[in-house]
Every structure is written in structure tokens, then in C-alpha cells.
Amino acid sequence: MARTILPFGPQHPVLPEPLHLKLVVEDEIVLEAVPALGYVHRGLEKLCEVRDVNQMIQVVERVCGICSCLHAVCYCQGIEALLSLDVPPRAKYLRVIWGELHRMHSHLLWLGLFADAFGFESLFMQCWKVRERIMDIMEATCGNRVVVSVNVIGGVRRDLSPEQCSWILEQLAIAEKDVKRLQSTLLTDYTVCKRTKGKGVLTGEQAYQLGAAGPTLRGSGVAQDARQENYAAYGGLEFAPVTEPDGDSYARSAVRFRETLQSIDLVRQAIARMPGGEIAVTTKARPQGEVTMRVEQPRGELFYYIKADGTKNLDRVRIRTPTFANIPPLLAMLPGIELADVPVVVLSIDPCISCTER
């Protein structure tokens, strides 16, 4: 059989992201996949030279809108480490609450897009209907639905009243019921299982050796989660990494579904255990030195390197996003599958090219 090289992306009917792959195909079977990165490069890291330390919060929030809160948490924690700032305990719990709300809306967005990849339009709408409720919570508590801009160096800029906390719990109870109602279709439907089980298999050893992150890693049975490092207020909450053993597209989708429910529980715990007090400490941000910081994005571990020289501008900001880490594992998943399964397998890592090509 003759081999053919087919371009996959950067525009594709199934993909919400402009991921570009070159597929070597023989008789409808993928033999090799070669990535072509850089299509939407924006040069955001370079902006640290012309935006001061505080202005860079707004820049990093726009690396990716869906997980903007967690980019800001990672950046602010890095600057706080350089300044030796002690963030108020209440602010740490508030960061957890908004961070987990972002995780919920990211996973629900992805579950809807994954359903759309099979042609399940009604399931797509149902997932996004639940996501709308989560975004309504963020709008009511922060004033915006996606880029909430609540993090500042030294804490957060907004607080939650007891009435708001009670309302959030009421809304999450409804969302939890709606998510569980989708479980039978998302995890047991014949078509879903047929399109995902055994597709794009990544063993636990492969996932670890290739540097996979987030649900892509945990879907292969590796219980690794940056939240176990107890940043923010996670040290005061009870949770365990969600894992699935099979390492296929189904396992990765099951991890995200279960993590959505876990995030609801974490928000409940954070509200119940959140102490009173201040939500921020004021400081004149003139950091000096080098620091690395990690947090757990919806897609996996986010890594920041920050170098400062004591002026209002930073010397260097370097960001490693989870999708960048998950591209080598993706290239290991694709060989051997049918061409028709490529979009589903690619979507199973939840690619964010906006994050990857900053």
C-alpha cells in the first residue's frame, strides 16, 4: 500500500483549536504523526519587558481564558514567594473556590465538545447548559464570566458574603444533579464506548516517561496532581487524585467527568472551612531573584519560571503549559488507529493551542 501524508488542521470541523498535525497514513491507518507548532504564536512572555509586575497579571490571564484564574494564581504565588509575602488564609480559600469553578466550567466545556465530536448535539447542549450555571456563579461573584480577574499580588480583590456562599451552594447542588443525570450517556452509551474504548491507548509507563500531565496522565492510572503540593488552601481540604487504569480516550473522559463532581465537593469544603479575616495584603511589588511555581490547571500541571531584578519590570517569564506537555503523549497515541478516530483521540487530551503557542 502507498503511504500518504495528510494535513490535519489547523482548521478542522471537529477541533475548537488550531492544532496542526501531519499524518502519515496507509490504508486508513495512521502510521506516524508529526506536529507543526507556532500557528498562533502571540509573544505574551515578551511583554514582561514593557508591562510592570502588576500589569502582567492581566497578561497571563489571557494566555488562556478558560483557565485564566489559575494562570493568575500561579503567577501571583511566584511573585509572592519572591517578596516573602504571607497571603491571608481567607484569600487562599477564595483562590481555591474560583479555581475549582474554572475547573468545572473547563471540563464541562470539553465534555460538550467531546460529545459533539460523535455527533451528539443534544448531549453537547446539556453539558453546556450546566456550564452556563457555573459561569453565572462567576459572573455574580466576580463581575465577569470567563476572565474573572480576582487575583492580585498578596491575595484577591473580591470577597464572598455569607449570602453569596449560601447561594453558591444552592447553585452547585442543582449543577451536581444535572451532571449526574448525564452520567449514563457520557459513560455507558454504546456509541460513546464504541468510539472511545481502546482508542488512543497510552500506558501508565508511557504517560510517565513522555511527561503527560493532568487527566491525560491520570487517565493512564498515574495518581499525580499538583494540588497535592498543598498550594493555596488545598492542604486544608480532603481529596485524592481521580484516576482510571485503561489509558484510552474513554478513561480520559471519565477522569474529567469525575473531576467535575470532585470540584463541586472541593468548593463545598472550601466554603465550609474558610476562615474570616483580610483578603489581601498591600505591597509595593519590586521582586528580586528567581522562582518556579506549579499549579494544577484543568488540563494538567502549569509551570511558571519568573526572574526579577528588583525593578518594576520582570527580567523573564517562562510558561510551560499542560497541552505542551501532552503533545508527545498524543504523538504516541495516534499510530495504529484509524483515520476516522484521529479527531476523537486528539480531543481526548483537551488541547489548548492558545496556551501552547503563547
- Does residue 168 contact residue 267 with C-beta atoms inside 8 Å? yes
User: Residue positions in the annotated binding site?
Assistant: 45, 64, 67, 319, 352, 355
State the CB neighbour count (10 A cutoff) for residue 291.
Answer: 17
Please state whether the peptide bond connecting residue 329 to the residue before it is cis, i.e. omega within 30 degrees of 0: no
- Does residue 291 contact residue 317 with C-beta atoms inside 8 Å? no
- The residue written with cell numbers 449570602 in the block is 163
Is the pTM higher than 0.75? The answer reads yes
pLDDT score at 1: 59
Q: CA-CA distance, 160 to 168, in Å (whole number)? A: 10
Tens of pLDDT, residues 294-308: 999 999 999 999 999
Q: What is the 3-state secondary structure (H, E, C) of the chain?
A: CCCEEEEECCCCCCCCCCCCEEEEEECCEEEEEEECCCCCCCCCHHHHHCCECCHHHHHHHCCCCCCHHHHHHHHHHHHHHHHCCCCCHHHHHHHHHHHHHHHHHHHHHHHHHHHHHHCCHHHHHHHHHHHHHHHHHHHHHHCCCCCCCCEECCEECCCCCHHHHHHHHHHHHHHHHHHHHCHHHHHHCHHHHHHHCCCCCCCHHHHHHCCCCCHHHHCCCCCCCHHHHCCCCHHHCCCCCCCCCCCCHHHHHHHHHHHHHHHHHHHHHHHHHCCCCCCECCCCCCCEEEEEEEEEECCEEEEEEEEEECCCEEEEEEEECHHHHHHHHHHHHCCCCEHHHHHHHHHCCCCCHHHHCC
pLDDT score at 119: 83
- Does residue 299 contact residue 319 with C-beta atoms inside 8 Å? no
What CATH number belongs to 39-325+340-356? 1.10.645.10
- Does residue 13 contact residue 26 with C-beta atoms inside 8 Å? no
Closest-CA residue to 98 (of 152, 178, 174, 59): 152
- Does residue 82 contact residue 291 with C-beta atoms inside 8 Å? yes
Closest-CA residue to 97 (of 267, 317, 334): 267
Closest-CA residue to 298 (of 329, 326, 273): 326
- Does residue 93 contact residue 273 with C-beta atoms inside 8 Å? yes
Extents of the domains making up the chain: 39-325+340-356
Q: Amino acid identity of 117?
A: A
- The residue written with cell numbers 486544608 in the block is 236
User: Residue positions in the annotated binding site for Fe cation?
Assistant: 67, 355
One digit per residue, the tens of pLDDT, for the chain of length 358 reads 578 888 887 777 777 777 888 999 998 899 999 888 777 777 888 888 889 999 999 999 989 888 899 999 999 999 999 999 999 999 999 999 999 999 999 999 999 988 888 888 899 999 999 999 999 999 999 988 889 999 999 999 999 999 999 999 999 999 999 999 999 999 999 989 999 999 999 999 999 999 999 999 999 999 999 999 999 999 999 999 999 999 999 999 999 999 999 999 999 999 999 999 999 998 887 899 999 999 999 999 999 999 999 999 999 999 999 999 999 999 999 999 999 899 899 999 988 887 887 7
User: Residue positions in the annotated binding site for Mg(2+)?
Assistant: 45, 319
Cα within 13 Å of Cα(115), Cβ side? 24
- The CA–CA distances, whole Å, from 24 to 3, 29, 202, 338 equal 7, 9, 20, 12
User: Residue positions in the annotated binding site for Ni(2+)?
Assistant: 64, 67, 352
Q: CA-CA distance, 151 to 144, in Å (whole number)? A: 13
